[in-house]
Chains A and B, each alone.
Chain A
Amino acid sequence: EAGVAQSPRYKIIEKRQSVAFWCNPISGHATLYWYQQILGQGPKLLIQFQNNGVVDDSQLPKDRFSAERLKGVDSTLKIQPAKLEDSAVYLCASSWTLTANTEAFFGQGTRLTVV
């Protein structure tokens, strides 16, 4: 089966600019996650969707970050305006359900550099 697809792989922007990342989860996966992985740290959850509804966005900096999952399939994560500290790898993951023992499948991530 096809894996989680993310684009772009790399992005360089200047601070205060906006950027958007796209994720296409594995077909049939109801749960979708966006993680932020800063260099030298483990991934940190930004937002979690179940179908097209938000399950958890408590760690999403809502003044500059937004995410949507229209029709419960693809998702986009946007940053506007970007700050230097947003430089990180943004990982998208999906799983069949919210059940805790369900494996999450990850994409290859987007490496964002803010200069």
Chain B
Amino acid sequence: AQTVTQSQPEMSVQEAETVTLSCTYDTSESDYYLFWYKQPPSRQMILVIRQEAYKQQNATENRFSVNFQKAAKSFSLKISDSQLGDAAMYFCAYRSADTGNQFYFGTGTSLTVIP
């Protein structure tokens, strides 16, 4: 099974500043997808951003962007201009490109945004 590692259990950032959340993964596959999900206290997981492994260009969604380093098996999330509403647990997830394969989630990073 693939493993996803998030080495930062907790992170904090000042409002309006930038923060980077780290994620590494282990796989022998060449084609896969990577995701960042946000889980606020309501517990509902919300997709933040996704990256296709065969695309070299890093994905961006407004204030959220990723730094995808395929050779290093690294997939970090950068949040720019942090807002109070960004406070949540963030989970990195891996999914094989083979149809039907499950999501493998990391253990999460709890992000606190300081006013």
CB neighbours of A26 from chain B (8 A): none
Which of B61-69, B71-79, B98-106 lies at the binding interface?
A: B98-106
Contact check, B108 vs A42: say whether CB atoms are below 8 A apart. Answer: yes
Identify which of B4, B42, B99, B106 contacts A100 (C-beta below 8 A). Answer: B99
- Taking CB atoms and an 8 Å cut-off, the chain B residues in 41-95 that contact chain A are 42-47, 50, 52, 91, 93, 95
User: Is A103 in contact with B50, judged by CB distance below 8 angstroms?
Assistant: yes
The size of the chain A interface, using a CB distance under 8 A, is 26
Judged by a CB distance under 8 angstroms, whether A55 is at the interface is: yes
> Which residue of the partner chain, among B45, B97, B100, B107, contacts A56 with CB atoms under 8 Å?
B100
Q: Do A107 and B32 have beta carbons less than 8 Å apart? A: no
- Bound-state CA distance A107–B44 (Å) is 5
Size category of the B interface is 20 to 34
Contact A43:B44 (CB < 8 A) given known A48-B100, A100-B99, A101-B52: no
Query: Taking the complex as formed, is B96 at the interface, i.e. its CB lies under 8 A from any CB of chain A?
Result: yes
Between-chain CB contacts (< 8 Å), 24 pairs: A3-B44, A33-B102, A41-B108, A42-B4, A42-B93, A42-B105, A42-B107, A43-B45, A43-B91, A43-B103, A48-B102, A50-B100, A55-B100, A91-B43, A91-B45, A98-B100, A100-B95, A101-B50, A101-B97, A104-B103, A106-B45, A108-B42, A108-B43, A109-B44
Q: Which residues of B contact A (CB under 8 A)?
A: 4, 32-33, 37, 42-47, 50, 52, 91, 93, 95-103, 105-108
